[in-house]
Structure 1
Amino acid sequence: MSDSRLADDRPEAAFRFDHAETTEPHTHPRGHLVYAASGMLSLITDGGAWIAPPNRVAWVPAGAEHRHRAHGVTDMRVVYLSREAATSLPSGPAVLAVTALAREAVLAITTDGHRSDMARSHLRAVLVDEVASAPEQPLHLPEPADPRLRRVVALVERDLGAPRSLAALARETGVGERTLTRLFREETGMGYRQWRAQLRVHRALVLLAQGRSVTDTAAACGWATTSQCIEQFTPLVGLTPGAWRRAAERG
């Protein structure tokens, strides 16, 4: 997708992404909320990746370099905000929960071209109020900078279905287990097991959106059982894997 299609010379817009379509890194002078009315979007920055299923909205502050990647055919809705309207939103990229009211507001803003400017302004205010009151959602996968930890992350991502302990990763990379423990805390803000759980959920969201069964997804992501997948997936996403898969199918 060319960056010109994402130019924010209007207060809201709708775009269609094909599966796996990815934008080039770009910035906008205005902050914006990004919602996948169908499909699913990843928001990717140098600081890591955020994933936004249909019960979440991604927030991108003004000037933040980022790119988008679609998982499945995706209907992306964008609502740009003035600096004043964005003051109640996080200072950095984030994924926030979407209430039913917020969803209807963003769809109304980006669908009906006959609404007055005042009506659109009211809808944007409702959207911001709803999103700003929602807690940030833990669907962020930080990108480490330390080359030792990057090697470890690459090993885990390459074969997530075959879980490795931190001790095994230390032996494979020649980096001490204590050092890796410290690096995970310093670079991701999480311990290894928590980071791996986040990675599994990210991967599971993509696989489920592609139509994979919950059982196959659990195995591909390295969960020992389907029930373990459900236990770790549900608190982070707000839906069980099965419910999320059905929602993705409905679009």
Structure 2
Amino acid sequence: MSPTRHDDTGPTRQSLAHGERVEWHFHSVHQLAAPGRGVLRVFTPAGSWVVPPHRAVWLPAGTEHAHQAHGPSELRCLTFAAELNPLGLQRPAVLAVSPLLRELIATLTGPGASRSALLEQAALEQLREAPELPLGLPTPRDPRLRDLAELLLADPADPRTLAQLGTAVGAAERTLSRLFRRETGLSFPQWRAQLRLHHALALLADGRSVTAVAAAAGYRSPSAFIEAFRLAFGTTPGRYQRERAD
């Protein structure tokens, strides 16, 4: 199915049920998409990004993408004219959202809110300072890497080494390691770590316990999972779940 063009040119807010998708589309303007609650997974032909609350994803004008909600979610979006690019990015990116930017997004997309040039300019200024976070999961193109990725997407806790996975997909460990760096910009351990974080966020959104999520996502212990989560998202998984419930 060909992506459709969405001509949203202002702030929007949309409730999404668990598992609900917004199918492939693109915009003629830049979009900043932020979940007010729940976890949003964003797919593009180049890869996927996972976006919890307190984070947002920048989608440059013309980027084909789809959304999927994990847990009951609320998708809040701001748009910016194609000639305005405060980050200078021509690719999607997950950004840290400051408390002020979060409040601006909530106000601009609130029920009955009217467009405010002053608030939109304030949001634009906040975006200029928003740090990019390494939360993307690039999609490899090589058929052997795609087969390997499918194995791990089906079971992120799969403990096999790259050499063992190479045996399953018919490629040498050295070849796969070189291809991962060339096609994704990440080493295989980095790519697998991103995949496990993506999977963990989706499981937390489903209400699983931290211990259960750590095991299902392939971490050697709950403490190892908590530390990896804290480094990636700036909070612990337990605190993240409590904040979602508030």
Q: Can you give the 5+ residue segments of structure 2 that lack an aligned partner in the other structure? A: none
Q: Percent identity?
A: 42
CA distance in 1, matches of 2:83, 2:63: 17
Is the alpha carbon distance of 1:29 and 1:245 closer, same or farther for their aligned partners in structure 2, counting shifts above 3 Å? same
Shift of 1:31: 0.9
Aligned to 1:47: 46
Do the aligned partners of 1:209 and 1:249 also contact (CA within 8 Å) in 2? no
CA distance in 1, matches of 2:83, 2:196: 37
Shift of 1:15: 0.7
Do the aligned partners of 1:8 and 1:80 also contact (CA within 8 Å) in 2? no
Q: Which runs of 4+ in 1 moved over 4 A?
A: none
Deviations 1:70-95 (A, max 9, x none): 11111111111112332434211111
CA distance in 2, matches of 1:112, 1:173: 51
Aligned to 2:193: 197
Deviations 1:79-122 (A, max 9, x none): 1111233243421111101000000001111115354x4xx111
Structure with the largest fraction of strand: 2
TM-score by length of 1: 0.92
The answer as to 2:158 corresponding to 1:158 is no
CA distance in 1, matches of 2:173, 2:209: 35
CA distance in 1, matches of 2:6, 2:151: 37
Do the aligned partners of 2:32 and 2:79 also contact (CA within 8 Å) in 1? yes
TM-score by length of 2: 0.94
Aligned to 1:129: 125
SS state at 2:24 partner: coil
SS state at 2:243 partner: helix
Do the aligned partners of 2:8 and 2:27 also contact (CA within 8 Å) in 1? no
Aligned to 2:60: 61
Aligned to 2:210: 214
Do the aligned partners of 2:144 and 2:170 also contact (CA within 8 Å) in 1? no
Figure out how many residues of one structure are paired with residues of the other and give that number. 244
Alignment root-mean-square deviation, CA? 1.7
The equivalences for 1:1-251 within 5 A come to 7-111=6-110, 113=112, 115=114, 117=115, 120-250=116-246
Do the aligned partners of 1:18 and 1:74 also contact (CA within 8 Å) in 2? yes
